[in-house]
Amino acid sequence: MMRGELPDSVLFACTHNAVRSPMAEALAKRLYGTRAYFDSAGVNAGEVDSFVLAVLDEMGVDLHRHRVKVLEDVDPGEFDLIITLSPEAHHAALELTRDVATAVEYWPTPDPSAVEGGRETRLHAYRAMRDALMLRMRARFGATGGVEV
C-alpha cells in the first residue's frame, strides 16, 4: 500500500477504544467521508473520554453515540489496514493478523489522558493529539475527500 493511497477499509486500534482510536475514526470519517470504511477498537473496553468529545465538538464532529469495541469483536481480515496508536494495540494487531493479509502500521500516539493539570491544560493535550492525527492522516492518505475541517 503506497503513501497517498486510501485503502477501502481502515481499523484504528488503541488500548481502550476511549481516546485515540475513536478520535482517529471520527476524524477519518470527517476527512474522507464514504471514500473508505473506518472503524475503531481497543485491546480492552473503556468509556469514551469526555475531553475527546469536547475537542471534537469544537470542530463539529459528533462522537457522542460511539460504542466502544474490543479487537476481539472485529474480524481483522475484513480490513485492508489496521493503524495502531498504542504499543499494546500494535502487539495485539500483529497477533490478530498473523494469518490474514491485513497490513498493520504503528503510529505512536501519546495518550493525552496521562496529562495532569487543569481543564485548559488537559484540553490543550487533547487538541494537540487531534491535530497531530489529522496531519498524519493527510500525510498518509493524501488530501481530504472534499470535506474540509
Could you read off the pLDDT of 55-85 as tens digits, one per residue? 999 999 999 999 999 999 999 999 999 999 9
Q: At 22, list the grid cell.
A: 475513536
CA separation for the pair 98, 109 (Å, rounded) = 23
Q: For 114-123, what is the mean pLDDT? A: 96
Non-local (6+) Cβ contacts of 70 within 8 A are: 17, 41, 42, 43, 44, 45
- Give the residue ranges of DSSP H helices in 50-118: 50-57, 87-96
Is residue 145's pLDDT more than 60? no
Is residue 147's pLDDT more than 70? no
Q: For 123-138, what is the mean pLDDT? A: 97
Is residue 148's pLDDT more than 50? no
pTM of the entire predicted model? 0.93
pLDDT value, residue 146: 47
Q: For 86-93, what is the mean pLDDT? A: 97
CATH class entry, domain 9-138: alpha beta
Query: CA geometry: angle at 72 spanning 67 and 77, to 5°?
Result: 105
Residues 147 and 31 sit within 8 Å (Cβ to Cβ): yes
Band of residue 87 on the pLDDT scale cut at 50, 70, 90: very high
Band of residue 2 on the pLDDT scale cut at 50, 70, 90: low
**Mean pLDDT score across all residues of the chain:** 93
pLDDT value, residue 49: 95
